[in-house]
Structure 1
């Protein structure tokens, strides 16, 4: 009888142990965006730069959306950041926006990151209650990154001043506001672009104890001197024109991963 009771008790204990969930180690990761123009750091308003065509310019505004983040793992399938937690607006005027903090990531070794530049079609056309925070069309967080007249988000905004702007423009300002996601009720250009960056031989270790910080450099020189040549004198204003696709191709190539270190917790 005692042997039977002992056997039954042992089976119950083993069953309970099997039913207990296994704790999955989680960690955090930061993506730190750093802006330059060629070899110079980006300083809004005061520093003069020169593009490949010899045009001089200053930058007053740089904003862009980083969304739909995916992390490439070396020890398992890629990790896709939950979409509702994967919309960020980078503003060169606000250092706090230039560090993206990703939480509750599966611990492991990662070798790269990819993200969408802009706001995807599903979120562009979603009900307003699903467009909160930096996507709220009526909120101050969007920083003028939504076209009321065109019902869509501006994926990338670059503004500045240049003496090469033609006198016929009325002043020396240039503006590149690049949006369009393919259209909803009618077809448009699709200026969404995906950026994929790898760490090479430097692994990104996500653990509970330390927070890796991935440094990503964005070089605005590439906006002017990329696959499509952009000259301020010829095109001081681009929004929904066909040439906006070339600008999108250019700025999608302005990013490079420059290093990995650890952030203070």
Structure 2
């Protein structure tokens, strides 16, 4: 009898799919826009305050992504942080493994930026590699978000504006936690709209065209950034 039992156990262990979680990728798509227009490099846009704007660089970190399910379970992204480059389409789609038998998605949680622990943990690899150009120094840490471009309203060389938003030490901790409710039927993907028009509706280029270090201005801009994100249902 023991011999038969051992054979049954071995058969189960080597059976395809045994012990697996039946996980499938859950897709998160970042959809950058300016008001209702797709965000395109080199294109001019008109801000809500009437300023002409052209974006030349837009990069930021999404970290500690979590999916909250309708049954209360939390699914965490195994990758600590993702460097998103709005003008590099391959970075605009994220994939998180989710058990196919779980409930539907209730909400999406993520950090805009990098937490203080990671900032003081020494050299990182992958998207957190300082060679990616999103790191100041060990004193100031990671740049959570870069927004660069030009506007005739800027009283700077070539009318350029530069907003490098970061800082991990209080009182200038620029990381922002964002929660988006997903009020849809069970699905296998989420579209997150990122609307730059909402950010620039708060900007006065004549008084603030450059932020390059942690401080009160970076904190103010970090608050503006939280207003850009929403769940978007694309037209079919």
Which TM class, normalised by the smaller chain length? 0.7 to 0.9
SS at match of 2:154: coil
Q: Is the 8 A contact 2:40 2:87 kept in 1?
A: no
If the length of structure 2 is used for normalisation, what is the TM-score? 0.86
SS at match of 2:114: coil
Q: Deviations over 1:33-58 (max 9, x none)?
A: 1111112111112x211222211111
Aligned length: 227
Task: Provide the C-alpha distance between the structure 2 equivalents of 1:260 and 1:12, rounded to a whole number of angstroms.
Answer: 54
Q: How much has 1:148 moved relative to structure 2?
A: 2.9
Superposition pairs of residues 92-107 of structure 1, within 5 angstroms: 92-103=86-97, 105-107=98-100
Q: Is the 8 A contact 2:140 2:167 kept in 1?
A: no
Q: Match for 1:119 among 114, 121, 131?
A: 114
Q: How much has 1:188 moved relative to structure 2?
A: 4.4
CA 126–89 in structure 1, closer or farther in 2 if over 3 Å, else same:
same
Q: Is the 8 A contact 1:219 1:255 kept in 2?
A: yes
Q: Match for 2:178 among 180, 188, 195?
A: 195
If the length of structure 1 is used for normalisation, what is the TM-score? 0.77
Of 87-96 and 70-79, more deviation after overlay is shown by 70-79
1:72 aligns with 2:99: no
Q: How much has 1:231 moved relative to structure 2?
A: 1.2
Task: Provide the C-alpha distance between the structure 2 equivalents of 1:258 and 1:52, rounded to a whole number of angstroms.
Answer: 21
Task: Provide the C-alpha distance between the structure 2 equivalents of 1:34 and 1:250, rounded to a whole number of angstroms.
Answer: 18
Superposition pairs of residues 23-38 of structure 1, within 5 angstroms: 23-38=20-35
Residue segments in structure 1 that go unaligned for 5+ positions in a row: 1-7, 205-211
Task: Provide the C-alpha distance between the structure 2 equivalents of 1:151 and 1:55, rounded to a whole number of angstroms.
Answer: 31
Q: Which residue of 2 aligns with 1:145?
A: 134
